[in-house]
Amino acid sequence: MKKIIGIVGVPPLDIIRQINEEQGKIVDLDEPQLSLSMNREAYLPQVYCAILRTVMLNAMNMPLDKIYIDVGPGKCDCALHVSTVLQHVLTIPVITTRNRDSEGFGYPICRSNLPLIEKIQAITQGVQSCEPSPEYPPSVATAGFWGVPPRDFALLSLFPNNTHVYGWTRCMENKTPADMELESSCNPAVPTVFFAQSFCAKTALAKHLAELHPKGLYVDCDVNAGSSARAKIEAFLELSRGTLAAPTVSTTSINNDGPGDDHAAG
């Protein structure tokens, strides 16, 4: 019988390769896996990142054989604290990792013309494999999404198909989750929503980069995307139409988005 292995964040490729070779079934504990209310999660404070509360809800209610939880620069220090709780309350092995993989695998999905929901679903699914993403022809960006995959994927339906993906989500596809330079880079010509889950440490970086970006909007939301967050994004994207042009300013943190630079419609 296949072992069921829960993962949190992006464990190192050596770990993923080992699970693949052993034909284990990988379950992404960052994503909602169960039809259970978040009120069932009682181990973490309610004022805590909804992604990590989801991790706890999944881990406490799923038949898992082992959990690998990435901590440190590839995920966050809060994940380290969650691993401590899980080690105390579960009887299965809960193993912490610190992913410092530096070999880039590219990010064709991030630049593709797929709907944003499909992009991020494909990127999160790709963490379970050691293989690079399939090749997709690059699209011309008219919007950008910077940040982490939201707990509520419905938020992503607000964006046009040719939205390019930046931030930690792009680092996920590149299989280098601790690459701060890649995480902090994006195209200043593209109107970009800088998103982080409420109470996530990345809200500081999201807000900072949004303030540096010539066409940036900072948004955070908790468990679900409320009407206020949705309205902000819809208004921002609507007002940004027709304003794409080369920026007149640049900063040390906002720059072209890496090898094979992004291009915005002009």
Is the separation of the CB atoms in 228 and 216 below 8 Å? Answer: no
The pLDDT profile of the chain, 266 residues, written as one tens digit per residue, is 899 999 999 999 999 999 999 999 999 999 999 999 999 999 999 899 999 999 999 999 999 999 999 998 999 999 999 999 999 999 999 999 999 999 999 999 999 999 999 999 999 999 999 999 999 999 999 999 999 999 999 999 999 999 999 999 999 999 999 999 999 999 999 999 999 999 999 999 999 999 999 999 999 999 888 888 899 999 999 998 855 543 433 333 455 555 445 655 54
Task: Give the domain ranges of the chain.
Answer: 4-97, 116-240
Distance of CA 160 to the CA centre of its chain: 18
In whole angstroms, what is the distance from residue 179 CA to residue 186 CA? 13
CA distance 29 to 55: 5
Strands (E), the chain: 4-8, 25-28, 66-70, 94-97, 143-147, 163-166, 192-197, 216-221
Annotate 191-239 with three-state secondary structure.
CEEEEEECCCCCHHHHHHHHHHCCCEEEEEECCCCCHHHHHHHHHHHHH
193 has which bridge partners?
A: 145, 217
Residue 153, pLDDT score: 92
| Dihedral over alpha carbons 123, 129, 135, 139 (to 10 degrees) | 10
CB 10 within 8 A of CB 102: no
DSSP state of 134: P
Q: Is domain 4-97 annotated with CATH 1.20.1250.20?
A: no
Per-residue model confidence (pLDDT) at position 133:
97
Render the burial of 241-259: b for 16+ CB within 10 Å, e for the rest: eeebeeeeeeeeebeebbe
